[in-house]
Amino acid sequence: DTAGEYLTSGDYFWNSGMFVFRATRYLDALAQFAPGILEASKQAYEQAETDADFIRLEKQAFIDCSSDSIDYAVMEHTDNGVVIPLNVGWNDVGSWSALWEIGDKDDDGNVITGDVLAQDSRNCYLRSDSRLLATVGLEDIMVVDTHDVVLVAHRDQVQKVKELVNQLSGEQRKEIDIHALVHRPWGSYQGIDRAERYQVKRITVAPGAQLSLQMHHHRAEHWVVVKGTAKVTCGDRTFLLSENQSTFIPIGQQHRLENPGKIPLDIIEVQSGAYLGEDDIERLEDLYGR
């Protein structure tokens, strides 16, 4: 009822959540109105670790920081705020249906991204990040095919994605923490296939970057170079591999992968063993301080 009164009176503006200020002024305001947030933020930043393009805030200090928004922590208390009316289109793009609303639509009202064939389908949001996605006879449906999961939902129900995430978390599903494409300081890796006692990854190493000198207690690895040049350390040997060449890393063997070239290095890695978790890595040397 109060919100209705505000709206009909015409005396109020909608807060879009866009704030402009000098960083120093915001820090001053935090010190005045939310000193706990400021102190926790300082501690998390001062104890942060840096690798490649990432600043990794100190975890515990960041967790201990209260999660108040800028609205509650500062703007509701300050007398130095100014509201500027702005008459523009605004969309938080907070759901998949919002992407359909703002997207470029074909003659059937579909928003299509990636390799998609849509037959007799109307007013749909269809996205594929890798493989061919084909639809027949759909209307007002969202289909999002990523490396991690496929989402199919009615456009009016996509806000319930949060409930799905809560369910995944409650069931302790690995999809909450483990993604098909994982970024690292040296590049990235993508899971391709996995079953009992083996998994296959595509590893991309940036030019001049290197993985840690490491060993595994439960798995062996086969590396096949598909693009670029690899510098491999395996035990007391260091050698180069070019495209279509391969090598084998036995269980318990110290090893390292480097990219000495000018273009990204892509290798296919086949892991085999009794345990294939990412925590089966004993780092002996690491350029990124992990």
Q: What is the pLDDT of residues 249-286, one digit of tens each?
A: 999 999 999 999 999 999 999 999 999 988 899 999 88
Distant-in-sequence, close-in-space partners of 207: CB < 8 Å, separation ≥ 6: 259, 261, 262, 263, 264, 265
Angstrom CA distances, 206 to 183, 230, 243, 245, 265, stand at 11, 11, 16, 19, 7
Overall average pLDDT of the 231-257 stretch = 96
What amino acid is encoded at 143 in this protein?
A: V
Tokens of 114: 């990636």
| Domain range list for the chain | 2-75, 96-160, 181-285
Say what percent of the chain tops pLDDT 70: 99
Work out the number of other CB atoms within 10 angstroms of the CB of residue 164. 12
The yes-or-no verdict on residue 115 having pLDDT over 80 is yes
Q: Do 208 and 214 form a contact (C-beta atoms < 8 A)?
A: no
Mean pLDDT of the chain: 92
Q: Report the alpha-carbon distance of residue 243 to residue 258 in Å, rounded.
A: 14
The yes-or-no verdict on residue 107 having pLDDT over 80 is yes
Burial of 168 (0-12, 13-18, 19+ CB in 10 A): middle
Per CATH, the number for 181-285 is: 2.60.120.10
Rounded to 5°, angle at Cα 95 from 92 and 99:
80
Q: Which pLDDT score is estimated for 173?
A: 86
Q: Report the alpha-carbon distance of residue 158 to residue 199 in Å, rounded.
A: 33
DSSP annotation of 174: G
Q: Which pLDDT score is estimated for 52?
A: 61
Q: Do 99 and 155 form a contact (C-beta atoms < 8 A)?
A: no
The yes-or-no verdict on residue 178 having pLDDT over 80 is no
Q: Which pLDDT score is estimated for 211?
A: 94
Q: Report the alpha-carbon distance of residue 134 to residue 128 in Å, rounded.
A: 10
The yes-or-no verdict on residue 69 having pLDDT over 80 is yes
Overall average pLDDT of the 192-216 stretch = 94
Q: Which pLDDT score is estimated for 13?
A: 85
Structure confidence by residue, pLDDT tens digits, 123-139: 999 999 989 999 999 99
Q: Report the alpha-carbon distance of residue 133 to residue 118 in Å, rounded.
A: 8
Q: Which pLDDT score is estimated for 267?
A: 98
Overall average pLDDT of the 39-54 stretch = 86
- Exposed e or buried b per residue across 85-119, where buried means at least 16 C-beta atoms within 10 angstroms of its C-beta: eeeeeeeeeebbbebbeeeeeeeeebbbeeebebe
The yes-or-no verdict on residue 64 having pLDDT over 70 is yes
Q: Which pLDDT score is estimated for 89?
A: 75
